[in-house]
Amino acid sequence: MNTTLQHWLAAQLADLKAQSLYKPLVELQSPQGGRIVVDGRPVINLSSNNYLGLANHPTLKEAAIRATREWGAGAGAVRTIIGTMEVHQRLERRLAEFKHVEATIVFQSGFTANAGTIPTIITKDDAIISDELNHASIIDGCRLTGLPSGQRLVYRHRDMEDLAGVLKRTESFGKRLIITDGVFSMDGDIAPLDEIVRLAAEHDAAVMVDDAHGSGVLGGGRGTAYHYGVHQQIDVQLGTLSKAVGVMGGYIAGSALLRDWLTQRARPFLFSTAHPPAVAAAIIAALDLMETDPSLVERLWTNTRYWQDGLRRSGFDLGVTQTPITPIMTGDEATALDLQRGLFEAGVLALAVVFPTVPRGKARVRTMPNASHTQTDLDEALQAVETVGRHLGLI
Ligand SMILES: *Cc1c(COP(=O)(O)O)cnc(C)c1O
């Protein structure tokens, strides 16, 4: 092994540890769910993106097993060579129908969908206009365009006046693409897509929404664009199949032309192997379930209201959330870490989010109720948050 590299790695890691930024991996010792086992300890799980409890759903598991028996464990090639199986195509048609759009294309993950799509539809004459709180995978996708910073502009979070100003200043560029998260993952607030679509039309710009936390959650599961009724007007909808949908993958929903272009040029589609057939089949089963059983999404929202009402009644500050993402604001970093630790000791898993993920002084513990929690789970967790929070002087 190369000692220069090994020394560099050791020094980097020591530096992270010295700054308390090193995060050891915790081991999940049970399937994903409302109650899980972590480090030998049963806890109520408020940290997963498994919004609808589908990750360990018997119907999805059965679909995955059946597809594995019929089609095998792997796809064996990239989509553009001989890795496109019938089940992959069926999934894309099913997703288009579910999203009420012309066409979809599935990527290995939401992250890959961003990295694959943004640089494929943007050229050196274009400009990208982003909300300042956009997700890391959008930012990486934008970096891959190689555009100089003068063509990668940022507007203040959800600020439509600022966005209008940026649109006016960028009229000389070729295509302009406004990119925003649908639901912002750290605060749980929703992008004003109705206003964004209106401004975009006025200024001849295209709109892309990364709806990772809106998919399966808003619009009866069809996402933030559907929630606002603007799904026909959003040029590029990105969704994830890894969060509420419970499996793995990302997709782009939009026009048939967009899909067609991405099948020809999106690098992860061309150079990384297709999903195992079990993945595609399990996702189709999840979409069928979401469509035939609206109580799944309803239960998520009932639990969300119950959880947030309980916390607010105790006096906690939940920031600006409009969705199941429920930050318990602590302000300072040490209190967030103490709250996480105290909750774990009380049998509740909820993780602190601190700088650099959120600004300094805006630390929080992020909690996310999901459809698989029972009222008893939530009552127990509320009791724990209240006890630990009171002890820490938060309420
Ligand atoms: C989680 C997330 C992604 C990545 O999705 P994966 O399918 O987990 O790769 C992309 N964008 C946003 C906004 C996310 O929250």
What integer pLDDT is reported at residue 23 of this predicted model? 85
Q: Which two tokens stand for residue 139?
A: 């930012």
What integer pLDDT is reported at residue 358 of this predicted model? 92
Among the atoms of ligand 1, which is closest to the Cα of residue 182?
A: 13
244 in any annotated domain: yes
Ligand 1 center to residue 376 CA distance, Å? 30
Would the CB of 111 count as within 6 Å of ligand 1? Answer: yes
Exposed, middle or buried, 277 (CB in 10 Å: 0-12/13-18/19+)?
Answer: buried
Could you tell me what percentage of the chain is helix, strand and coil, using 3-state DSSP and rounding each to the nearest 5? 45, 15, 40
Query: Which band of pLDDT confidence, cut at 50, 70 and 90, is reported for residue 30?
Result: very high
Final residue belonging to a domain, choices 292, 308, 323:
292
250 and 262 in contact (C-beta within 8 Å)? no
Cα-based angle 55, 53, 315 (whole degrees, multiple of 5) = 135
Q: Residue 288: is its pLDDT beyond 90? A: yes
Would the CB of 51 count as within 6 Å of ligand 1? Answer: no
Total domains, the chain? 2
Ligand 1 center to residue 3 CA distance, Å? 35
In the chain, count H helices and then E strands: 14, 13
Amino acid, single-letter form, for residue 48: S
Would the CB of 170 count as within 6 Å of ligand 1? Answer: no
Same domain, 45 and 83: no
Ligand 1 center to residue 212 CA distance, Å? 5
Would the CB of 117 count as within 6 Å of ligand 1? Answer: no
Same domain, 373 and 273: no
Q: Residue 19: is its pLDDT beyond 90? A: no
* Strand partners for 37: 42
* 46-95 per-position pLDDT tens digit: 999 999 999 999 999 999 999 999 999 999 999 999 999 999 999 999 99
354 and 333 in contact (C-beta within 8 Å)? yes
Same domain, 64 and 106: yes
Would the CB of 99 count as within 6 Å of ligand 1? Answer: no
Would the CB of 110 count as within 6 Å of ligand 1? Answer: yes
126 and 204 in contact (C-beta within 8 Å)? no
Same domain, 301 and 329: yes
User: What average pLDDT does range 134-144 have in this prediction?
Assistant: 93
15 in any annotated domain: no
Query: Which band of pLDDT confidence, cut at 50, 70 and 90, is reported for residue 21?
Result: confident
What integer pLDDT is reported at residue 163 of this predicted model? 98
Matching residue, tokens 């998260």: 181
Alpha carbons within 13 A on the beta-carbon side of 164: 7
Same domain, 203 and 250: yes
d(CA 229, CA 51): 22
10 in any annotated domain: no
Same domain, 251 and 336: no
Give nearest CA residue, ligand 1 atom 5: 110
User: What average pLDDT does range 381-393 have in this prediction?
Assistant: 98
What integer pLDDT is reported at residue 356 of this predicted model? 87
Catalytic residue numbers read: 185, 213, 243
Ligand 1 center to residue 240 CA distance, Å? 6
* Strand partners for 105: 252
Residue 39: C-alpha distances to residues 25, 33, 114 (Å): 10, 15, 33
What integer pLDDT is reported at residue 117 of this predicted model? 98
Among the atoms of ligand 1, which is closest to the Cα of residue 135?
A: 13
Return the sign of the alpha-carbon dihedral for residues 22, 268, 67, 239.
positive
Give nearest CA residue, ligand 1 atom 14: 212
Report the 10 Å Cβ neighbour count for 367. Answer: 24
Among the atoms of ligand 1, which is closest to the Cα of residue 181?
A: 13
Q: What is the mean pLDDT of the chain?
A: 97
Residue-range definition of the domain harbouring residue 134: 58-292
Q: Residue 20: is its pLDDT beyond 90? A: no
Matching residue, tokens 């607030």: 189
Would the CB of 268 count as within 6 Å of ligand 1? Answer: no
* 240-281 per-position pLDDT tens digit: 999 999 999 999 999 999 999 999 999 999 999 999 999 999
Same domain, 166 and 179: yes
The DSSP line for 311-378 is: HHHHT---TT--SS-EEEEEESHHHHHHHHHHHHHTTEE-EEE-TTTS-TT-EEEEE---TT--HHHH
12 in any annotated domain: no
Q: Which two tokens stand for residue 155?
A: 């507007």
Same domain, 209 and 144: yes
Residue among 55, 49, 36 nearest 344 (CA):
36
7 in any annotated domain: no
Amino acid, single-letter form, for residue 175: K
Question: Are β-strands 35-38 and 206-210 bridged in parallel, bridged antiparallel, or unpaired?
Answer: unpaired
346 in any annotated domain: yes
Ligand 1 center to residue 178 CA distance, Å? 18
Q: Which two tokens stand for residue 55?
A: 């990750």
Same domain, 118 and 254: yes
Query: Which CATH number goes with the domain that contains 26?
Result: 3.90.1150.10
70 in any annotated domain: yes
Give nearest CA residue, ligand 1 atom 7: 110
Residue among 155, 158, 107 nearest 128 (CA):
155
Amino acid, single-letter form, for residue 182: G
Query: Which CATH number goes with the domain that contains 107?
Result: 3.40.640.10
Among the atoms of ligand 1, which is closest to the Cα of residue 242?
A: 7
Same domain, 284 and 138: yes
Final residue belonging to a domain, choices 274, 292, 310:
292
Final residue belonging to a domain, choices 260, 292, 324:
292
* 149-195 per-position pLDDT tens digit: 999 999 999 999 999 999 999 999 999 999 999 999 999 999 999 99
Same domain, 243 and 341: no
User: What average pLDDT does range 206-215 have in this prediction?
Assistant: 97
Q: How far is CA 14 from the centre of its chain?
A: 30
User: What average pLDDT does range 311-336 have in this prediction?
Assistant: 97
6 in any annotated domain: no
User: What average pLDDT does range 127-142 have in this prediction?
Assistant: 94
Query: Which band of pLDDT confidence, cut at 50, 70 and 90, is reported for residue 24?
Result: confident
Q: Which two tokens stand for residue 318?
A: 């939940």
Same domain, 109 and 200: yes
